[in-house]
């Protein structure tokens, strides 16, 4: 045995998170998405069993948030409400075992109805909406549910190919219970023909994994005469519970 492999395997432990199934994720190097070419590691990731620092992560509480943080229709309203299709986005944060992930921080950001971001580096000619900031956040409840109200974002041109357009999308950042569950992703909208031609979507090798990023219209959750709804469930890595293995110290 070489010198770097001298530690005694401690075996799987209750509380370890399942190893990430990298086949559902985009690889780092995806030349159709050009920026990835010089920003992708070329060497293999080093697989690491999880220590205390991996199975823990930051804890957030309601004290970290403000009362309008999950309402993008009101949280930057200055002279009126923003222009665009009013929608609710809601769903559950689950783990791979199907259990809700409670009290976890979910953050989201997006362009306005015309596809323009409120960001000093965005120079797209579509105008800023004076009443729309484009970001929000919330904690899931005890069952893992979250929801927010917003304006449906517009498609957005970007410099990849000469004529590349992002589908309408909302960016999501989810913490989960541990640093191993930390995830950033994007939600797309049912029926958008730009999904199938987007290089960033196509970085994902598995067509089923792409489908899971597309939120269906949810008429049952719409508010009649006010706003429609889309449902988007998010799955984080699952966690091992004890079956028959000997319980090791600390559990």
Catalytic residues: 117, 156, 166, 169, 171
Nearest C-alpha neighbor of 81 from the set 131, 41, 45, 47: 131
Q: Does 78 bind another protein (CB under 8 A)?
A: no
* Beta-ladder partners of 139: 105
The nearer residue to another protein, 183 or 217, going by C-beta atoms, is: 183
Residues of this chain, 91-120, that bind another protein according to CB under 8 A: 94-98, 107-110, 117-120
Q: Which one of residues 1, 31, 32, 51 is an interface residue with another protein (CB under 8 A)?
A: 51
The nearer residue to another protein, 19 or 223, going by C-beta atoms, is: 19
Q: How far apart are CB 13 and another protein at their closest, in Å?
A: 7
Distance CA 133, CA 71 (A): 11
Locate 156 and state its tokens: 């957005």
Nearest C-alpha neighbor of 31 from the set 219, 147, 228, 200: 200
Nearest C-alpha neighbor of 87 from the set 223, 195, 179, 247: 223
The nearer residue to another protein, 76 or 146, going by C-beta atoms, is: 76
Residues of this chain, 207-246, that bind another protein according to CB under 8 A: 208-210, 212-213, 234-238
Distance CA 49, CA 60 (A): 25
Q: Which stretch binds another protein (CB under 8 A): 78-86, 128-136, 147-155, 219-227?
A: 128-136
């Amino acid at each position: 045995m070489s010198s770097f492999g001298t530690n005694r395997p401690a075996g799987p432990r209750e509380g370890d998170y399942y190893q990430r199934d990298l086949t559902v994720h985009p690889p780092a190097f995806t030349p159709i998405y050009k920026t990835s070419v010089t920003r992708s590691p070329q060497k293999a990731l080093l697989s690491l069993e999880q220590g205390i620092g991996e199975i823990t992560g930051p804890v957030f509480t309601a004290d970290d948030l403000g009362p309008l943080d999950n309402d993008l229709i009101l949280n930057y309203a200055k002279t009126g409400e923003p222009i665009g299709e009013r929608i609710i986005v809601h769903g559950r944060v689950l783990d791979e075992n199907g259990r809700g992930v409670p009290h976890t921080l979910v953050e989201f950001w997006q362009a306005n109805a015309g596809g323009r971001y409120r960001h000093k580096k965005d120079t797209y000619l579509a105008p800023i909406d004076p009443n729309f900031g484009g970001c929000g956040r919330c904690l899931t409840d005890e069952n893992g549910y979250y929801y927010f109200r917003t304006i449906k974002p517009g498609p957005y041109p970007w410099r990849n190919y000469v004529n590349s357009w992002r589908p309408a999308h909302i960016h999501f950042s989810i913490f989960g219970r541990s640093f191993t569950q930390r995830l950033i992703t994007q939600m797309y909208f049912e029926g958008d023909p730009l999904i199938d031609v987007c290089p960033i979507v196509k970085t994902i090798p598995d067509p089923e994994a792409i489908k899971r990023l597309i939120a269906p219209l949810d008429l049952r959750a719409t508010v009649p005469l006010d706003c429609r709804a889309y449902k988007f469930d998010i799955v984080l890595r699952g966690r091992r519970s004890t079956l028959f293995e000997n319980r090791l110290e600390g559990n």
